[in-house]
Amino acid sequence: MAGSLLFRSFELSVQHAQPGQVVLSNEANEQGPQLANILSAMLQHFGISLNQEMLGGDSASRGGSPELSTVQSLALLQESALSIASNNELKLNEAAHAAAMATAFIVKECAPALTAEVGFNIAVYSFIEGCKTMPPLIVGYPMAAPTQKKPWYKLW
């Protein structure tokens, strides 16, 4: 959810994109790593140290293939996540950061059954995929429209 919430905050013009379609943007490349930094900082705060040699890599280091696709997962969770963000008056990027913090808590709690490194890898992979994938549309909740910028040649 963190990556998808961040994606929604970018205010990209995506009217022709279909759910599940990859949407590349500079915003994702610039702001996406913040989610991994938040996750890492929270894990460190929880006293969990990560073995740097076990981070990144192939699907085996992420715990195998997921049972649900990104779009399927988002379809199950996004309405609740957006409602929580709205009820708490969070901007979408703030909600994304909060979701990254919650992810760190989940990684910590699952560490006995799933190593922290595998949890970290799954989370970071999901952050990247989420902030570069068109989420499912929600009836009554349009994707944010890009703000109109003043042309560079207008001074007033």
Q: What local confidence, expressed as pLDDT, does residue 154 receive?
A: 56
63, pLDDT greater than 70: no
Would you state the pLDDT for residue 37? 97
Nearest-angstrom CA–CA distance, 86 and 67: 29
Residue 21 confidence (pLDDT) above 70? yes
pLDDT of residue 145: 45
With a cut of 60, say whether residue 10 has pLDDT above it: yes
pLDDT tier, 58 (very low <50, low <70, confident <90, very high otherwise): low
State residue 138's pLDDT score.
84
State mean pLDDT over 137-151. Answer: 60
Residue 112 is given by DSSP the state: T
Integer Cα distance of 46 and 40 in angstroms:
10
**Model pTM above 0.95:** no
- Reported confidence tier of residue 112, pLDDT bands at 50, 70, 90: confident
Alpha helices in the chain (DSSP H): 2-9, 26-45, 70-87, 92-110, 116-130
pLDDT at 65: 77
Q: Would you state the pLDDT for residue 156? A: 55
